[in-house]
């Protein structure tokens, strides 16, 4: 009997458990649903936003605003996220958006918002973590966007990301804007019209910042000391301003730096050897400044470098061999400096990822580096305006992706060999060889190995093979792509003829033609014509001048001839009448 009662109780528990479980789930879901119900005031504020859209309108028709597109709420139903990037929003940002006091994430980037932000806009949000208003047309003095009470009303202590780049903001970024922003990890104010110097206490207030971008503004003065205090700093950009002075030495203490970008300023002085401490550096961009001195001897320790852009400075000396240890280099631009040395002694063969090499307008000597043929990723080479000599090596044809080659204003020789080699570079679309191969003849058709070469030049229609000012001579080979170039490509070569230049006519491909253009040979044709004229003139007129009897007989002959002509004309006139 006892066993039967126990079995009965066990059956009742089996049937009651599902019912209790369902009841529990229902209660939890009800509580959860209630917690997600949108706050009515927040809903009204959202509906009042004066945003128009150039794309499909926002789906904000449901009763619960927490389910609207781009909107998120907390467990109390307060709006915490407005996330509406790239929605084609137009209009201005109204003051009452500041009434959304629980807002932690505001992203209105990549829209078409315009006008000034409301006064004290940035002081309206005490819980804001992410602010992204980038890529709009917002304007105004940034100082007006904070409360006038000073340091207690900068960005809130909760702020982590501030991105107001690509707008029309102006004014001076004050130190107290960031005085409470101890958790800030990203500040991007680039592409605006901010003035004044860069904050010198930035790392003191925001020691954990990882990303700083002040580029494309009107900042002046020196780059402040103190960046070494940003122990987590990875990206520092302040290019295209009016910054001057030396690169602060303590920046080399920020050992987590991956990018330093300071182009188009007025920076002076050398690049410190201590830069090799930044072993995580992948991009060093210092072009268009007034830097001087030599490259650090141990620059090869920066073996993670991908982009090294130091062009348009006053750097000197030879390139350190350790540079070839930067095996991850993709872009190497050292043009418009005063570097020197035999470039052919450098071993480029380890730079397997190098795509762009620009060394133009320096004082490099030697021959074209054969080791470049190992850089299979190369697409562009410019070593123009140096002092290279010798011939273009045949190994250059191994660069299957090479589309741009500029070797102008050097002292290269053997134009026949150069063209035969370069015709086999099937990807080549731009070829600049100005001021080389002086006093050489273009190859004849019989000397062209690949008359079907340079096909890519013609196909792209942007092709340009500059052979100007080389003082070449001879007939341009037929049945090649050399006829497809404009006649201006051969400017400065008076000894050339044949399509696209005028036909050669009776000219030969002799060197005499070239010598005649230079004034080196005797102009026999002109001499013979002159002698013939002199002989004929004096053979007829000389006796008349020297002998009186000959002159009298000559003029009597002319008188008789005139009388006969008159009689003949008179007789013909009588007959016709």
529 found inside a domain = no
Q: Are residues 302 and 239 in the same domain?
A: yes
> How does pLDDT run across 497-508, given as a tens digit for each residue?
766 677 676 444
Q: Are residues 314 and 347 in the same domain?
A: no
With cut-offs at 50, 70 and 90, classify the pLDDT of residue 458: very low
Rounded to two decimals, what is the model's pTM? 0.76
Q: What is the mean pLDDT of residues 214-218?
A: 97
Query: Residue 45: which H helix or E strand, with range?
Result: helix 40-47
Question: Residue written as tokens 């090649």?
Answer: 480
Q: Are residues 298 and 421 in the same domain?
A: no
Amino acid 518: pLDDT: 42
Q: What is the span of the domain harbouring residue 121?
A: 41-194
Picking from 441, 474, 506, the residue at the C-terminal end of a domain is 506
16 found inside a domain = no
Q: What is the mean pLDDT of residues 212-219?
A: 97
Q: Are residues 401 and 335 in the same domain?
A: no
333 found inside a domain = yes
Contact 429, 456 (CB under 8 A): yes
> How does pLDDT run across 163-192, given as a tens digit for each residue?
999 999 999 998 888 888 999 999 999 999
Q: What string of DSSP letters covers 280-345? A: T--EEE--SSEEEEPPPTTGGG-TT--EEE--SSEEEEEPPGGGGG-TT-SEEE--SSEEEEEGGG
Q: How many domains does the chain have?
A: 3
Residue 564 has pLDDT above 90, yes or no: no
Q: Are residues 499 and 353 in the same domain?
A: yes
Reduced to 3 states (helix: H, G, I; strand: E, B; else coil), residue 486 is coil
Q: Are residues 299 and 171 in the same domain?
A: no
201 found inside a domain = no
> How does pLDDT run across 286-334, given as a tens digit for each residue?
999 999 999 999 999 999 999 999 999 999 999 999 999 999 999 999 9
517 found inside a domain = no
Query: What CATH number does residue 271 fall under?
Result: 3.80.10.10
Q: Are residues 332 and 362 in the same domain?
A: no
Q: Are residues 155 and 71 in the same domain?
A: yes
- Compute how many other C-beta atoms are within 10 angstroms of the C-beta atom of residue 316: 16
With cut-offs at 50, 70 and 90, classify the pLDDT of residue 440: confident
268 found inside a domain = yes
Amino acid 463: pLDDT: 31
- Compute how many other C-beta atoms are within 10 angstroms of the C-beta atom of residue 106: 21
278 found inside a domain = yes
Q: Are residues 292 and 307 in the same domain?
A: yes
Q: Are residues 48 and 75 in the same domain?
A: yes
Write the Ramachandran bin of 207: left for phi over 0, alpha for psi from -120 to 50, otherwise beta: alpha
Residues 6+ apart with CB under 8 A from 4: none
The mean pLDDT of the chain is: 81
Distance CA 382, CA 26 (A): 73
Amino acid 24: pLDDT: 44
435 found inside a domain = yes
Q: Are residues 90 and 157 in the same domain?
A: yes
Query: Residue 441: which H helix or E strand, with range?
Result: none
């Amino acid at each position: 009997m006892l066993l039967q009662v126990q079995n009965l109780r066990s059956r009742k528990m089996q049937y009651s458990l599902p019912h209790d479980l369902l009841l529990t789930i229902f209660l939890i879901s009800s509580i959860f649903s209630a917690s997600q119900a949108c706050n009515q005031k927040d809903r009204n504020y959202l509906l009042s936003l004066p945003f128009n859209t150039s794309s499909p309108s926002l789906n904000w028709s449901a009763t619960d605003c927490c389910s609207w597109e781009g909107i998120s709420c907390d467990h109390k139903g307060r709006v915490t996220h407005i996330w509406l990037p790239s929605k084609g929003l137009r209009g201005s940002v109204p003051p009452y958006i500041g009434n959304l006091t629980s807002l932690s994430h505001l992203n209105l980037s990549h829209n078409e918002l315009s006008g000034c932000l409301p006064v004290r806009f940035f002081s309206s949000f005490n819980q804001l973590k992410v602010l992204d208003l980038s890529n709009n047309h917002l304007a105004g003095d940034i100082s007006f966007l904070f409360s006038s009470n000073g340091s207690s009303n900068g960005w809130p202590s909760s702020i982590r990301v501030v991105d107001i780049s690509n707008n029309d903001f102006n004014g001076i970024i004050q130190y107290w804007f960031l005085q409470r922003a101890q958790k800030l990890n990203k500040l991007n104010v680039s592409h605006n019209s901010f003035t004044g110097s860069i904050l010198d206490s930035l790392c003191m207030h925001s020691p954990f910042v990882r990303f700083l971008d002040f580029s494309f503004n009107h900042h002046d003065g020196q780059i402040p000391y103190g960046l070494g205090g940003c122990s987590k700093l990875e990206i520092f950009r302040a290019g295209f301003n009016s910054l001057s002075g030396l690169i602060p030495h303590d920046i080399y203490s920020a050992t987590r730096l991956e990018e330093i970008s300071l182009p188009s300023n007025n920076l002076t002085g050398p690049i410190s050897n201590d830069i090799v401490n930044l072993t995580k550096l992948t991009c060093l961009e210092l072009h268009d400044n007034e830097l001087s001195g030599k490259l650090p001897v141990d620059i090869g320790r920066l073996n993670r470098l991908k982009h090294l852009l130091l062009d348009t400075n006053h750097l000197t000396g030879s390139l350190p061999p350790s540079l070839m240890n930067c095996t991850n280099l993709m872009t190497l631009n050292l043009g418009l400096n005063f570097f020197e040395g035999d470039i052919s002694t450098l071993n480029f063969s380890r730079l397997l990822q190098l795509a762009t090499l620009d060394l133009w307008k320096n004082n490099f000597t030697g021959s074209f580096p054969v080791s470049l043929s190992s850089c299979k990723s190369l697409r562009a080479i410019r070593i123009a305006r140096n002092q290279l000599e010798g011939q273009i090596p045949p190994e250059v044809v191994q660069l299957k992706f090479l589309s741009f080659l500029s070797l102008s204003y050097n002292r290269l020789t053997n134009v026949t060999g150069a063209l035969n080699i370069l015709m086999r570079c099937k990807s080549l679309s731009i070829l600049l060889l100005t001021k080389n191969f002086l006093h050489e003849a273009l190859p004849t058709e019989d000397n062209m190995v690949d008359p079907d070469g340079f096909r890519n030049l013609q196909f792209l229609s942007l092709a340009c093979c500059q052979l100007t000012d080389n003082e070449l001579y001879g007939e341009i080979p037929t049945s090649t792509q050399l006829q497809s170039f404009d006649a201006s490509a051969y400017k400065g070569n008076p000894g050339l003829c044949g399509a696209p230049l005028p036909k050669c006519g009776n000219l030969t491909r002799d060197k005499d033609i070239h010598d005649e253009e230079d004034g080196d040979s005797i102009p026999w044709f002109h001499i013979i014509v002159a002698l013939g004229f002199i002989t004929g003139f004096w053979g007829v007129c000389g006796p008349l001048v020297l002998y009186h009897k000959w002159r009298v007989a000559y003029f009597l002959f002319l008188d008789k001839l005139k009388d006969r002509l008159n009689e003949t004309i008179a007789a013909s006139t009588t007959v016709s009448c």
